[in-house]
Structure 1
Amino acid sequence: METEPATAERHYARDTLEFARAFTFFDAVYAFALTLLVVNIDPPEAADWTSPSALLGSGLEWQLLGFAISFSVIAVFWRVNHRIVAGFRALSPGTITANLVAIAFVVLIPFSTQGVSDVETADAPLAVAVYALDISCAVLAQAALFYVARHDGVLAHPLPRRADRAKLLDTLTIPAIFLVSIPIAYAWGADAGRWTWALLIVVGPISGRLTSRRVARIVAEDAAARGIRSEPDA
């Protein structure tokens, strides 16, 4: 009687119940993290409901801004995680563990949001540092998840390694900007540190476009080297 290799036994194929359970669990944790963000919004006093200006002047505007930013951040993390896992043909113990580490940092985002959105702590450089470190670790953990999947051989359609390195460099622009904001916050204040994050609005799209072109060129060169003629996308 033939037996499958030990490594195959530890992989959960995409069409198995175990894969579906893990995928559902990961999605549920992201939903839970999004829900936790509302805890950072303190209910205003009764007197603050007399007018919109009084309501916003109670500090609610900063908490709502922090909620909106972190909601968007967690949603982006979920989309990235969904895209990564969607490219798996199976789950391995390594990818499950790596994903748990990644979502652990995501679950911490409501906590780190408290520091940068509360009027009593928003001006503290430490609040900026904690938030920046949390986001940076979450991004790096997501990147590590992909490389664990590649190492374990569960990627459905792996790209050339040069293409993966190009994508990694693009990903590293996010933690780089967040980490740079920490010394800026301590040197010039928390507001300056937070404004540093706005660089992502410019740097992100530019880096993304350049990376997409580089990856396409690498894939075409790899196909040519293999003697395969690449067809343009429909």
Structure 2
Amino acid sequence: MSVTEDEKQHSTELEPARLSAFFDGVCAIAITLLVLNIHIPEISCMQGRCQRSLMAELLTQWPNYTSFLLSFALVGVVWLNHHSLLSYVKKTNHVLNVLNLLLLLDVVLLPYPAALIASYIGTSEQQTAILVYSCVWFLGSICFNLIWWYIVRTPRLRDPLVSPTELKRVSRLYLLGPLTSGAGVICSLFWQGVPGLVLCSCIVVFYLLPVMDRNNQKKERLSHNLEKKGETVTNTRTY
């Protein structure tokens, strides 16, 4: 008995739980590595008296704190939105897994540009550091949109309760990522980089808002309406 191509495709489709667990683990490691950019100040002390103030040394590390908080929020945003994205997915396949690996490549790369910002912000080379950071954020938003684009165009992997109107609305929300971070890259090319960093920060704050929660509520309402319609049809047939 021969196996059709359609049957082969369905045989490689799995529940998204394993993909979600792997993604969670990588994000947890990446977000932990960010703290390595914050170092304990080294102060020479003789007979219990230190030559410099510890508070002053801690305050001089403000670039490290800034890059840590921004990068922590960025990885957190990726994790939150990926969690929401998978709520639209019923099955995964090889292509979807590969696209997720590309996004993870960007996630694990984040500690590097974060370290660049911590080292060079406030110097003559801060523009290059922020440019690298903006480029990594831009590539991540492109990868995220590729994942969503593939889900939208592969109905068999998608939750059937999601309406086409909802898919379009979410697509527009995700498109803000590459548009804003792309503008950040352009700003970083022609200015000292601060406008680019501000744009990346703004889009991080936007995606921290519970936008996707409202989408899930709509899914629940749609599911409830379908169940009510099913009950109505059943009752009608009974009579």
Moved more, 27-36 or 180-189: 180-189
Deviation of the 1:165 alpha carbon: 3.2
Q: Residue 91 of structure 1: SS of its match in structure 2? A: coil
Deviation of the 1:150 alpha carbon: 3.3
33, 40, 43: which is aligned to 1:43?
A: 40
Q: Residue 101 of structure 2: SS of its match in structure 1? A: helix
Question: Could you tell me the percent identity over the aligned residues?
Answer: 19
For structure 1, the 5+ residue unaligned runs are: 229-234
For structure 2, the 5+ residue unaligned runs are: 45-50, 230-239
Whether contact under 8 Å (2:43, 2:54) holds in the other structure is no
Whether contact under 8 Å (1:37, 1:110) holds in the other structure is yes
Return the letter of the residue paired with 1:73.
Answer: L
Aligned residue for 1:107? 108
Deviation of the 1:158 alpha carbon: 5.7
Deviation of the 1:3 alpha carbon: 5.9
Structure with bigger gyration radius: 2
Whether contact under 8 Å (1:70, 1:113) holds in the other structure is yes
Deviation of the 1:23 alpha carbon: 2.5
Compute the TM-score of the two structures, normalised by the length of structure 1: 0.74
Return the letter of the residue paired with 2:115.
Answer: Q
Q: Residue 74 of structure 2: SS of its match in structure 1? A: helix
- Structure 2 CA distance for partners of 1:178 and 1:166, relative to 1, 3 Å: same
- Structure 2 CA distance for partners of 1:146 and 1:190, relative to 1, 3 Å: closer
Deviations 1:70-89 (A, max 9, x none): 11110110011111123221
- Structure 2 CA distance for partners of 1:53 and 1:7, relative to 1, 3 Å: same
Deviations 1:173-209 (A, max 9, x none): 2322222223323433122332344544887799x69
Moved more, 160-169 or 3-12: 160-169
Q: What is the alpha-carbon distance in structure 2 between the residues aligned to residue 89 and residue 196 of structure 1?
A: 34
Q: What is the alpha-carbon distance in structure 1 between the residues aligned to residue 92 and residue 85 of structure 2?
A: 12
Return the letter of the residue paired with 1:36.
Answer: L
Aligned residue for 1:194? 197
Q: What is the alpha-carbon distance in structure 1 between the residues aligned to residue 78 and residue 196 of structure 2?
A: 22
Whether contact under 8 Å (2:134, 2:196) holds in the other structure is no
Compute the TM-score of the two structures, normalised by the length of structure 2: 0.73
Q: What is the alpha-carbon distance in structure 2 between the residues aligned to residue 202 and residue 41 of structure 1?
A: 23
Aligned residue for 1:232? none
- Structure 2 CA distance for partners of 1:178 and 1:149, relative to 1, 3 Å: closer
Q: Residue 118 of structure 1: SS of its match in structure 2? A: helix
Deviation of the 1:37 alpha carbon: 0.8
Aligned residue for 1:21? 18
Q: What is the alpha-carbon distance in structure 1 between the residues aligned to residue 206 and residue 30 of structure 2?
A: 27
- Structure 2 CA distance for partners of 1:40 and 1:189, relative to 1, 3 Å: same
Whether contact under 8 Å (2:148, 2:171) holds in the other structure is no
